Amino acid sequence: MVASPLAGESKTPDVVVVGASAGGVEALTDLVAGLPPDLPYSILVALHMPVGAPSVLARILDRSGPLPAAQAVDGETLQAGTIRVAVPNRHLLLDNHRIALTEGPTENGHRPAINALFRSVALIFGQRAIGVLLSGVLDDGTLGCAAIRSRGGTTIAQTPTEALFPAMPLNAIAAGVVDYEMSALEVGGLLKQLADRQFEEFAMEPDARMELENRIAMARKFPTEFNTEELGPLSGYTCPDCNGSLISVSEGNYRCQVGHAWTADALLRARDDEIEGALWVAMRSLQEKTKLSRRLAGQVNPGILRNRYESIANEAEHAMGVLGNRLSAGQTKFKGPDG
């Protein structure tokens, strides 16, 4: 058992961190509606969001429940009974009990990332940290819940059958890193009960790997001040973001040399995207090859050269047809070149 480093700092409120992705707005709205008005926690929320789009999540949550909600501000102190929401393209972390918005490397292609927020709070609050994982795809948040539990904290997952996208809570539950499973609306009642707990203080045990991963998330946009090789051996895989070698931090947990982090599920999805992109490039190249060969055949006199161009065009058309038929037979679904 480990303890919070907050002994003697009663003015700093404990923290509840909430992570969500697809379907998360609906789940967050329910969660916020069920919070008691006298909740003594500071609540930090990370929702996966597009980089360039303005976020209105704070306004939605502010009118959905009794606690005031606002976008997080870098350097802001934690306040009990408030909700602070991550902003697009910044990790939401804690630095010496203050909010930190950073441009550290993406995790599972996301910034803000749920794992990064949960890990940051686990390191500072230990057994007083509480993590809540809501609706979403893939498995962001599973490693974050594991980090909180490894430091003696408490984890809660939305009931998968209630979540619009159950994969995130399901993955955390399957990994055995969830203490409570319930509807989003019921979370507030449990938090009220947990607020009355008494803790026996212990010396916080260091976790060098977790601390290094937290420093990576806290870093600037193009960091050079850390060595990810300290995290583990080479995995034999490459990073979808930068094509650098991925290091195996733990089972199903990878980081590249410049800090991008991937779980196994997210890495697999990224490979699907790479294959899809490569197939569209192949289809386009075959189409252009066919058109160019036909044009060249039409520009020369009948004979060996025209026959060569026509043969090239026929081969390209045949290859394009075979590729299209096999993809259709395999029920492969793609987006168009423009997304």
Looking at the annotation, which residues are catalytic?
Answer: 21, 48, 140
Q: Rounded CA gap, 276 and 49, in Å?
A: 23
3-state secondary structure of 184: helix
Nearest alpha carbon to residue 125 among 28, 15, 37: 15
CA angle centred on 311, ends 306 and 317, rounded to 5°: 130
Looking up tokens 């704070």 gives 58
Contact partners, residue 338, CB within 8 Å, separation at least 6: none
Q: Rounded CA gap, 150 and 118, in Å?
A: 12
According to DSSP H, which parts of the chain are helical?
24-33, 57-62, 114-125, 142-150, 167-174, 187-194, 208-218, 264-298, 304-329
Rg of the chain over all Cα atoms, to the nearest angstrom: 25
Alpha carbon 67 to its chain's center: 26
Rounded (10°) CA dihedral 305, 308, 313, 319 = -170
Q: Length of the chain in residues, anyone?
A: 339
